[in-house]
Amino acid sequence: MSDIANILDKVDHEAFDYQVLLDVLSHYRKPRDRIARLVAAGEIVRVKKGLYVFAEPFRRNPIVREQLANLIYGPSYVSLDTALSFHGLIPERVEAVTSVTTGRAHKFDTPFGGFTYRTLSPARYAVGIFVDDRGKAPFFIASPEKALADKVWSDKRLTGTRASDLGAYLLDDLRADESALRALDVARLTAIAKAYDSRKIDNLLNFLRKLGIPAHA
């Protein structure tokens, strides 16, 4: 059995780490050399140091960049513009995958595009995340409410000292879909605002209440 066939037989997901490869190729005296050959032959792709995916001819499922974002740098979850676009809150398709982390801010350029990470304190990080497991590559992503709070908090163009500032920012700058804003869950956003303990996010909540978002059960 060839090396790539052996790996495909033993690894049931598209992304895998260096240790997995070492385990599969442990029968070789120098498994690191075999890994280098697999990369050079175009059979596996190095996403970053220690993280690999199968090259396109060998993939059983498409690469999910949101899952890669979780794996490239962690702990992290997809948020900000990527999550806003994913949830249909903004019209733009975002090229770089944007995430939030409790670690240092970071940026990675990979064969699958750019991945950027913004820092958030642990108390603010922990609320409003869920696992999207509808496909074969589950990933952590912000809820619509959390993605919006993360965006408002991190965007230095917005002072957010008045609730009235939020209208122009959301509807003009972000071009947020007003019907999608009205569909947000005020109870969930209230919990997020409590965790943030920030006037900026409190004003976001106040603006959305005035816009008419209902309190969902």
- Using CB atoms within 10 Å of the CB of residue 156, give its burial: 0 to 12 exposed, 13 to 18 middle, 19+ buried: exposed
Nearest 5 degrees, angle CA 58-CA 63-CA 65?
155
Q: Where are the domains of the chain?
A: 3-58, 65-211
Pairing state between β 113-119 and 129-132: unpaired
C-alpha span between 93 and 70 (Å, rounded)? 19
pLDDT in tens, the chain (217 residues): 799 999 999 999 999 999 999 999 999 999 999 999 999 999 999 999 999 999 999 999 999 999 999 999 999 999 999 999 999 999 977 889 999 999 999 999 999 999 999 999 999 999 999 999 988 899 999 999 999 999 999 998 888 778 778 888 999 999 999 999 999 998 999 999 999 999 999 999 999 988 877 655 4
Q: Which fold has domain 3-58?
A: Arc Repressor Mutant, subunit A (1.10.10)
Question: What phi, psi does 108 have (nearest 5°)?
Answer: -125, 135
Report the candidate in 84, 81, 77, 82 with the shortest Cα–Cα distance to residue 100: 77
Type and span of the H or E element at 114: strand 113-119
